[in-house]
Structure 1
Amino acid sequence: MAQPGLQTVLDARAQSPEVIGQNPQRHHLSRHIILSLCIHFLPYSSGNERKGRKTIVFKRVNVFIVFVLFLLVVACSSNEWSYRFGGKSENWDVVTEITPDPDNGARFVGKISHLSEEHVNLIKYEAAMTNTSRREGKIENPVFHSGYMILFQDFPNTESARKKFENGVTEEEIKQFFGDYPVYKITWINDQGDEKSETIPLKFEEPKQ
């Protein structure tokens, strides 16, 4: 069915000066062709068609939202990795935790826990993180609660290492990155003034399932 107003326009055009004098049969055929084309291509639709189109658009929007949420979940899950190296001696339990960092690719956190009842007045630590990265410092009158005390926080020291961690790393990659490290040397002074020292190599700890 032609849209309202379309027949009137064509009838007016048939009576215009440029149409008068042409073959009536040919004009009648041309008019029907134009009407057919207009009915086919003009954006006219019944109520059912409009409802159907709305349903299609709604379904497409839902599919798009689900797709966006899927990409967000994948992006987040790719940054949910974490690894840990740990080592113990007679007096100390030390760990290095590696987690994602938005600015530096990864964050290395060195922690320590005291295993004996000996009172400690001073701790000095030297942490060889890799063969090119070392951290050292001291803490006076350290307070040990039920958990670990943070010694330091470190980051990858090269641009290539940062980019590697930004993309996420596997267990094998993290083991290759640290190699035979980290290694901590802990020196402490007790309340009698005695200075003691222990070197503690850290090993990769398998993630808990």
Structure 2
Amino acid sequence: MPNKKKQKETVKFYSEPVEELYTGYLIKSPTRPALPKNTKSWKRRFFVLSKTRDTYQLTYHAKHESIDKPLRVIDISKISLLFTSPETHQKWDWVKKKFKCSPSSVLFMKVEEDTLKHSRDYFLIGENSDDVEGWCSALVNVQKTQNSQNKLQHKANTLQDDRFRSASEALRLNFSEDNDRNYCYPHKLSEPPLPIPVIEEKDEKDEMQDESPEDSSEYMASL
């Protein structure tokens, strides 16, 4: 079955709508990093490059009829190397000898996992060079789109953080100004306390008692 590009086709058997971008059969190298003695461990698998909302993924299946049961899901963001004609790879001579294929009909893909021990090299053999070139272009375009989306999302998150930081600083400034207006700054311990004036109200008797004797005699004479 030849590989083909699909235009906005929605698959119904997924839990949510999925757009298939590129599909087709490729001969896949085995999981073991060491070269096998024969080609029995190299399997022909049906690969699907798809999009779910803003998420892209690459899966492969035992055959086209079991497309709803992927054998493995490859995280496209973890693909660190992707190119055709892997003639410089140390395993290329063995691949060429066993499959008698041209370099242009082979796609090499390195997928990095959480640790180096889980990184994996994929040799994917297509029917011809056009077949493999189609896969390579589709994967590269998806990676570029994904990178652009990540940059836009990062920019949006940065702007949101800046707005939140500005709002927080403005709130902190207003709170500081309010505190400055209501804050009573303490005096130094060496400074004496400010005197508090006391105003006493006196009646006539108190005033007479406070008067001097001279003032009293004058007052009596006037009577």
Same fold (TM over 0.5): no
- Larger RCO: 1 or 2 (CA < 8 Å, sep 6+): 1
TM-score, length-scaled by structure 1: 0.28
TM-score, length-scaled by structure 2: 0.26
| Structure exhibiting the larger radius of gyration computed from Cα positions | 2
